[in-house]
Every structure is written in C-alpha cells, then in structure tokens.
Amino acid sequence: MILQATPTVADWHFPNMPAHRAQDGDTEGETSPQADVLVAEPEVAKPPMYAVVIYNDNYTPMEFVVYILQSEFRHSMDSAVEIMLTIHNSSKGIAGIYPKDIAETKAKKVNSLAHREGYPLLTQIEPHQGE
C-alpha cells in the first residue's frame, strides 16, 4: 500500500501558526471578494523648503550683489535692488526659497563666484517655515 503525502504549506507571515496541509481544490491563495483590500492613495508631502540668505559685508560692491541676484536667482532689476537694500540695511536678506538640494547648490555657486571675484560675500541656507 502506497500512501500519498500531501505537501505541508507554512505561512512565513505567521511563524507561530502551525502549518496546514494543502488540499486539492483549496482556494485560500486565490482572491475572493471578501479578501479584497482597499488601497489608499499615497500621501505626497511637499519637500521642506530652505531660504538662501545673503549676508552683508563692508567690501562686496552693491552692484555685484545685484548682479548675483539677477543672474543666479532670476530677479528683475527692481526686485534685485530691493533685496540688495534689505541686505545692506538689515545685515541679511533672502535671495530665494528652494528645496534643500537646490538651495545648497545655489549658495555654493554664489560663494564660489564671489570668492573667485575676490569678494567676501557669504551666502548660506536656513530652514524656511510657511509659504
């Protein structure tokens, strides 16, 4: 007499549950209307924003700051002059608000350009709250 062994199926999701024997016609692996799962839409959060801040110094010409604001941050002449005056009068001013990687890149580029031109202009990034 030959006995036919039925395979043992263990569920790795539940290691403490005993294994059960798979039977012909077993439909546990198939989906049924009762087993459907509702999939929620993924929540996409806006990235944290950072302000590119330019600090005032006594050596960098105002014209160079206006040039930087126009060329690197795409401000109009009027906007660039207004920001430059804010930097001059308040010791610092925001050149733009970007996601972190873009803000870091812009700050490094401005610092490099200023250093190459022989100016001590300092640009850093700071976390920015709100819109």
Tell me if 123 sits within 8 A of 67, measured CB to CB: no
The stretches of 8-99 forming alpha helices (DSSP H) are 62-71, 77-90
Residues 32-40 have a mean pLDDT of 72
Per-residue model confidence as pLDDT tens digits over 94-110: 999 999 999 999 999 99
84 vs 1, higher pLDDT: 84
pLDDT of residue 2: 60
- To the question of pTM greater than 0.85 for the whole model, the response is no
Spatial separation of the C-alpha atoms in residues 115 and 53, rounded to whole Å: 17
pLDDT at 32 > cutoff 60: no
Please compute the mean of the pLDDT values over residues 23-52 and round it to a whole number: 74
Q: In sequence order, what are the residues at sequence separation of 6 or more whose Cβ sits closer than 8 angstroms to the Cβ of residue 22?
A: 6, 7, 8, 9
Kindly report the average pLDDT of the chain as a whole number. Answer: 85
Q: What pLDDT is stored for residue 38 in this prediction? A: 81
Could you tell me if 56 and 92 are in contact, meaning their C-beta atoms sit under 8 angstroms apart? yes
